[in-house]
Amino acid sequence: MKILVLALSLAMQAALLAHAESSVPTPTGIGIKDYPWQALAGEKNEALERKGDRKRGERLFALCRSCHLPSTGGRPDGSIPQLAGQHSSVLIKQMADIRVGVRHNPTMYPFAAVLNDPQDLADLAAYLEGLCIPREHEQYEAHDAVQQVATGRELYERACRVCHGPRGEGSRHKLYPAIAGQHYNYLLRQMTAIRDGKRPTADPEMVRVISGYNDDQLLAISAYQASLVMPGKMCRARTPVTKE
């Protein structure tokens, strides 16, 4: 039975991807100033008000496994984010934005579009939020990593901590994402996109703060952010196996 369910899920994913480019809505004339980042009425607000069913959300995650992986750990190259432990409000907002086309993501759109209603969004987000954050995520490990993390910490404490918190925990109620445990490359890619005006649904305050940073500074901030650990949210460290 499990094999049949998996086969059907993979077949559905293949069919969805085949039509991704032709079906994804493309926003026209939408800019950061035109779109209040927390003001998407309708589906998003309704999903935020509903109580998510984690068991049902786990079943819905079958649609996401091929990209985000069974562990929900995403991909270290920055193309796919780590999802476990993320605030349900943040997840709901991003899925809703993608579904209506104000966040342009042709890869994810066909999967998000299959979700039926606000309850599906609430259920999937509740499941993901309840998972511990894997410790096995990509961090900046170049020869100058120590210096970059130190520089990034200074920049983070100056402008990022007030929203994302001292440990990168974000805020569930304010829709600020948790960044601890996220892949370095994903953090860098998203901050660069926000700075360059390619994320029209980004928080205007973050756009203002990040607009003055150069590439080296964004690299340093990402290096520090990827080093953060959230108490009580991270998965337990693996105990090394010792041979007797």
Q: What is the DSSP string of the chain?
A: -HHHHHHHHHHHHHHHHHTHHHHS---SS--GGGS-TT--TTHHHHHHHSPP-HHHHHHHGGGTHHHH-TTS--BTTTTB---TT--HHHHHHHHHHHHHTSS--TTTHHHHHH--SHHHHHHHHHHHHTSPBPS------STTHHHHHHHHHHHHHHHTHHHH-TTS--BTTTTBPP-TT--HHHHHHHHHHHHTT--TTS-HHHHHHHTT--HHHHHHHHHHHTT---TTTBPPPPPPP---
Confidence (pLDDT) at 25:
56
Confidence (pLDDT) at 36:
47
In-domain check, residue 230: no
Q: Is 24 left (phi over 0), alpha (psi -120 to 50) or beta?
A: beta
pTM of this structure: 0.83
Confidence (pLDDT) at 136:
85
Same domain, 157 and 122: no
Same domain, 10 and 120: yes
CA-based nearest residue to 40, from 91, 96, 116 = 96
Confidence (pLDDT) at 239:
66
In-domain check, residue 134: no
Same domain, 99 and 182: no
Confidence (pLDDT) at 236:
87
In-domain check, residue 140: no
In-domain check, residue 139: no
Same domain, 118 and 25: yes
Confidence (pLDDT) at 102:
86
Same domain, 166 and 80: no
In-domain check, residue 108: yes
Measured in whole angstroms, how far is the alpha carbon of residue 69 from the centre of its chain?
14
**133: which strand partners?**
234
* Range of the structural domain that residue 167 is part of: 145-225
Confidence (pLDDT) at 31:
40
CA-based nearest residue to 108, from 119, 118, 116, 100 = 100
In-domain check, residue 135: no
Confidence (pLDDT) at 98:
93
Domain at 25, CATH number: 1.10.760.10
Number of domains comprising the chain: 2
Same domain, 117 and 168: no
In-domain check, residue 181: yes
Same domain, 16 and 116: yes
pLDDT tens for the chain, 244 residues long, are 544 444 444 444 444 444 444 455 544 333 434 444 454 558 999 999 999 999 999 999 999 999 999 999 999 888 999 999 999 999 999 999 999 888 889 999 999 999 999 999 999 999 999 999 988 889 999 999 999 999 999 999 999 999 999 999 999 999 999 999 999 999 999 999 999 999 988 899 999 999 999 999 999 999 999 999 998 899 988 766 555 5
Same domain, 105 and 173: no
In-domain check, residue 203: yes
